[in-house]
Amino acid sequence: MFADGGFELHLVGGPVRDAVLRRRVSDLDFTTDARPESTEAILRANCSTVWTTGADFGTIGGLFRGEQVEVTTFRADAYDRVSRNPIVQYGDNLVDDLERRDFTVNAMAVSVPGHEFTDPFGGLADIARQTIRTPASPESSFADDPLRMLRAARFAAQLGFGIDPETLDAMRRMAPELGRITAERIRDEFTKLLMAPDPVVGLRLLVDTGLAEQFLPELPALRMEIDEHAQHKDVYEHSLQVLRNAIALEQDGPDLLLRLAALLHDIGKPETKDVVPGGGVTFHHHDVAGARLARRRMRELRFPKADVQAVSLLISLHLRFYGYGEAGWTDSAVRRYVTDAGPQLDRLHLLVRSDCTTRNRRKAERLRRDYDAFEERIARIRAEEDLRAVRPDLDGNAIMELLGLPPGPQVGRAWAYLKELRLERGPMPREEAESELRAWAAREGL
């Protein structure tokens, strides 16, 4: 179609790289010498759906024979190296377009329909060497778009590649430049890194280069802390291992909220560290401090509110289980655990299991058995009482009718009392619930 219109068209970037690596190729990215208005006209004549959300950057997308495609005009971007976005300038040749791309492994192209392979910057050789390297000098590339430094760590995690020494050195020297990038772009790139097959590789790069210090300083701050649960590791190493443990327990693909909670579950320890007589170390209430810090950091990175709430809840609850096997819990305590976890209960199960990194096999086995028994107990109580929706035995209408109350805060207080009672005792017959409510109302003077 493009050739018939007198235009060049090349498959470019990630699809070419992934095809070389024999990885799954999904969305198809193309580059062309056609200007966006010509691209849009061609796609509208041949695609079932067309979108122009990227038109300001020269990109037109469409659905062609069931495949999602995006076609971008050759670029020769100019950067003022101060603002957060490039000034879009269109180029007139493929090589200049490839040179402005982030890494050599993404700077290869295949022409269509001719199928000519273009690799002016050695991307194929870098794939063979499993190396991440910039087409232009790393200083120039990162000065143009500092987010590329974060992207280098992400590709290392996704592909299992190392980073070229010159490129790595530039990342260390230029890490503060990341401050020019919007929180949303950093969040999106960091999320992609966390969802990689082995995000620990990328996270280590972020910490070692100083990039993490720019947007997640709580992570490098863990390196000097000692973990009281596993004396052979500091909290940083422990947290990375918990993340890997959590990934191993995932059953339905990568789970961003679980991975965030696993990585950040101990970030409250530096703030709560205390050395006790005899040389011991404690981190009292680090779960509370960690939930607060995670909530603040995720808000600054513009994560959705629901995600912030879920991760901070998981962190705040991750210690509650410890001591269950020794002290024993009442059914009421189990109900509260389930109720407080709410829809995050299944993730909480995985987080607590992942938090065991001890080399003491006997201790690890005991903790595993205890949690197996705990989950079985939850299942039993849930089957008996439908714990997923612990609600008072009387609803608001019944409360108002029984006590002769109008709608208002007094009804809410009565409802909260009945809920607490249900958590303590489990379901009650209606007569008993009504009797308890009347007694409470008398004590309250209602």
Residue 117's CATH number = 3.30.460.10
Give the pLDDT of residue 230. 42
Each residue's pLDDT tens digit, 191-213: 999 999 999 999 999 999 999 99
User: For 111-170, how does the pLDDT look when each residue is reduced to its tens digit (9 = 90+)?
Assistant: 999 999 999 999 999 999 999 999 999 999 999 899 999 999 999 999 999 999 999 999
CB–CB of 203/259 below 8 Å?
Answer: no
Same domain, residue pair 250 and 137: no
Residues 247 and 373 in one domain: yes
Question: What is d(CA 134, CA 187) in angstroms, rounded to the nearest whole number?
Answer: 22
With respect to residue 235, please indicate whether it lies within any of the assigned structural domains: no
What is the number of H-type helices and E-type strands within the chain? 22, 11
SS3 of 293, please?
helix
Q: Would you call the peptide bond into 406 cis, given omega within 30 degrees of 0 as the criterion?
A: no
What local confidence, expressed as pLDDT, does residue 232 receive?
A: 39
What is the spatial order of strands in the sheet that 49-51 belongs to? 49-51, 59-64, 67-73, 28-32, 9-12, 109-111, 117-118
Residue 427 has what pLDDT?
Answer: 77
pTM for the structure as a whole: 0.81
Name the average pLDDT for the chain. Answer: 89
The string of pLDDT tens digits covering residues 313-364 is 999 999 988 766 566 788 888 888 888 998 999 999 999 999 988 777 888 8
Q: What is the DSSP secondary structure assignment for residue 135, as one 8-state letter?
A: S
What are the tens digits of pLDDT across the range 382-431? 777 665 555 566 888 888 888 888 888 888 889 888 888 877 777 788 88
Domain shared by 99 and 164, yes or no: no
Residues 6, 86 within the same domain: yes
Predicted local confidence at residue 80, as pLDDT:
58
Whether 369 and 292 map to the same domain: the answer is yes
Q: Identify the DSSP state of 9.
A: E
Q: Has residue 236 been placed in a domain?
A: no
- Please give the Cα distance from 162 to 381 (Å, whole number): 50
Q: What does the pLDDT read at residue 224?
A: 65
Task: Tell me: do 52 and 23 sit in the same domain.
Answer: yes
Task: Tell whether 228 is covered by a domain.
Answer: no
Per the structure, the count of domains in the chain is 4
- Whole-angstrom CA distances from 398 to 404, 420, 438 are 10, 17, 12
246-250, 367-371, 399-403, range with the lowest pLDDT: 367-371
Q: What is the pLDDT of residue 86?
A: 59
Q: What is the mean pLDDT of residues 257-271?
A: 95
Whether residue 328 lies inside any domain: the answer is yes
**Is residue 436 one of the residues assigned to a domain?**
yes
Does 199 share its domain with 146? yes
Residue 83 belongs to a domain: yes
Q: Which of 367, 389, 411 is the last residue of a domain?
A: 389
Range of the domain at 380: 241-389
Kindly state whether residues 111 and 134 are assigned to the same domain: no
